């Protein structure tokens, strides 16, 4: 009979091994699925995981990996800090949308001025917007004990409605023939977030993602706040004795993850998306939750996980084009990845033993 025995300490080996196993299992199960659907599993897996990096059009798709991964990494880095402390921000999507709106608001108010301060001011406004949206669940939890999981999630829907209102109302492009959507910030040089070096895909959001990964790594491993966060997550009672104030931690974690999500929203709306529309949120805030867990809530892990998820998006598109795989494949893949990860995660906290029962 197989039994699960809890480990006294999480296994360092399985910490690293489970994400790798989850990816391998996703490829296997995905391949099986493709075979059942009547596609060649080997070429499907190769198209999704190999071609974007080394295929015939890799010169284009490789930089696109950075473009797609940057917002995921930015958001997931912030989420991971809270998740480590047991503070569950599920509403990064809403904070992303609000950040996009507040950041774009600065640009649209300044239009058509061309001062140097406009773009930095947009970044700050985007971060503040996301921060404020994250503070709502933080304050409601601190004052009334409301679940931050539910409140942050519900606020996503509120944010989507605000985005629709903006796109059809106050932010509507006055030169847009009555059609919804703001001015396109890509066409407003002082406010746009273009590729910094041609052919690399790297825009300011990519730069911010790299800086964030380093900063979060420093925070979590070198700073006293990082110690408090880790303590609160693993031993809340002990943490309290060590002087950790839970309310401060809630406000810090939700505020930080909100600000980073808001910044991600701004970089997207000023760059790849270009404008505020009712569909400004494209699910990065939710996908980032997968990225955070796949990256083991560790900054470097998140960097790799973000790139991997970006790979599934771009490879999924290639698979549609070359093999006619349905678009839903990508979502199935991402779902499987999280499913297998959580499944294998059992091994980091439990040992499997065989024991003969009497």
Partner 1 sequence: MNRRQLIASVAAMTTISLALPAWAQDEPLKVGFIYVGPVSDGGWTYQHDQGRLAVEEEFGDRVETTYLESVPEGVDAERALTQLALAGNDVIYATSFGYMDAVINVAAKFPDVKFEHNTGYKRADNVGTYDGRFYEGRAVTGTIAGRMTQSNKIGYIATFPIPEVIQGINSAYIHAKKVNPDVEMRVVWAYTWFDPAKEADAANALMAEGVDVILQHTNSTAPLAQLQQQGKIGFGQASDMASFAPTPRVSSVYNNWGAHYVKSVGRILDGTWQPEAVWGGIGDGIVAIGEITEAVPAEVKAEAEALRDKIAAGEYHPFTGPLNKADGSAWLAEGQTATDEELSGMNFFVEGINAELPQ
Q: Applying CB under 8 A, which residues contact partner 1?
A: 57, 60-61, 64, 67-68, 164, 168-169, 177-181, 184, 186-187, 268, 272-275, 277-280, 282-283, 313-314, 317-318, 320-322, 324, 326-328
Query: How far is 186 from 267, CA to CA, in rounded Å?
Result: 11
Q: What b/e readout covers 275-299, taking b as 16+ CB neighbours within 10 angstroms?
A: bbbbebbeebbbbbbbbbbbbbbbb
Nearer residue to partner 1 within complex by CB, 78 or 272: 272
Nearer residue to partner 1 within complex by CB, 74 or 87: 74
Residue 102 vs residues 175, 195, 267: alpha-carbon distances, Å: 21, 22, 12
Please state the φ and ψ torsions of residue 316, each to the nearest 5 degrees: -60, -40
Query: How near is the Cβ of 184 to partner 1 at its closest, in Å?
Result: 5
Nearer residue to partner 1 within complex by CB, 189 or 343: 189
Query: How near is the Cβ of 327 to partner 1 at its closest, in Å?
Result: 4
Query: How near is the Cβ of 265 to partner 1 at its closest, in Å?
Result: 11
Query: How far is 110 from 188, CA to CA, in rounded Å?
Result: 10
Residue 181 vs residues 22, 90, 109, 174, 251: alpha-carbon distances, Å: 40, 27, 15, 10, 33
Query: How near is the Cβ of 59 to partner 1 at its closest, in Å?
Result: 9
Please identify which residue in the block is written with the tokens 């790798």: 20
Query: How near is the Cβ of 349 to partner 1 at its closest, in Å?
Result: 37
Residue 323 is inside which H or E element, if any? helix 299-323
Query: How far is 268 from 70, CA to CA, in rounded Å?
Result: 9
Query: How near is the Cβ of 172 to partner 1 at its closest, in Å?
Result: 9
Nearer residue to partner 1 within complex by CB, 82 or 126: 126
Nearer residue to partner 1 within complex by CB, 261 or 318: 318
Nearer residue to partner 1 within complex by CB, 59 or 112: 59
């Amino acid at each position: 009979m197989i039994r699960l025995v809890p480990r006294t300490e999480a296994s360092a080996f399985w910490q690293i091994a489970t994400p790798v196993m989850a990816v391998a299992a996703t490829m296997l199960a995905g391949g099986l699925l493709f075979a059942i659907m009547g596609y060649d599993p080997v070429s499907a897996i190769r198209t999704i995981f190999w071609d974007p990096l080394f295929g015939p059009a890799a010169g284009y798709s490789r930089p696109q990996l950075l473009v797609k991964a940057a917002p995921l990494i930015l958001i997931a880095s912030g989420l991971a800090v809270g998740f480590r402390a047991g503070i569950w921000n599920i509403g990064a999507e809403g904070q992303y949308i609000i950040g996009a709106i507040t950041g774009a608001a600065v640009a649209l108010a300044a239009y058509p001025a061309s001062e140097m301060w406009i773009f930095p001011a947009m970044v700050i406004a985007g971060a503040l917007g996301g921060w404020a949206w994250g503070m709502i669940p933080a304050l409601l939890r601190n004052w009334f004990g409301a679940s931050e999981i539910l409140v942050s999630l519900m606020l996503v829907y509120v944010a989507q409605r605000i985005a629709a209102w903006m796109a059809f109302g106050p932010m509507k492009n006055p030169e847009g023939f009555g059609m919804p959507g703001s001015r396109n910030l890509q066409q407003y040089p002082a406010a746009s977030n273009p590729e910094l070096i041609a052919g690399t895909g790297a825009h300011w959001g990519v730069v911010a993602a790299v800086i964030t990964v380093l900063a979060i790594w420093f925070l979590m491993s070198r700073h006293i706040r990082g110690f408090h966060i880790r303590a609160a997550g693993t031993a809340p009672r002990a943490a309290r004795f060590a002087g950790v104030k839970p309310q401060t931690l809630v406000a810090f974690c939700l505020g930080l993850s909100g600000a980073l999500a808001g910044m991600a929203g701004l970089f997207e709306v000023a760059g790849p998306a270009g404008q505020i529309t009712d569909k400004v949120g494209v699910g990065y805030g939710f996908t980032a939750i997968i990225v955070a867990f796949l990256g083991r809530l560790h900054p470097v892990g998140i960097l790799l996980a973000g790139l991997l998820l970006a790979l599934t998006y771009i490879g999924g598109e290639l698979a549609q084009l070359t093999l006619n795989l349905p678009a839903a494949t990508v979502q199935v893949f991402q779902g499987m990845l999280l499913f297998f990860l959580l499944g294998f995660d059992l091994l980091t906290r439990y040992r499997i033993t065989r024991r003969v029962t009497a």
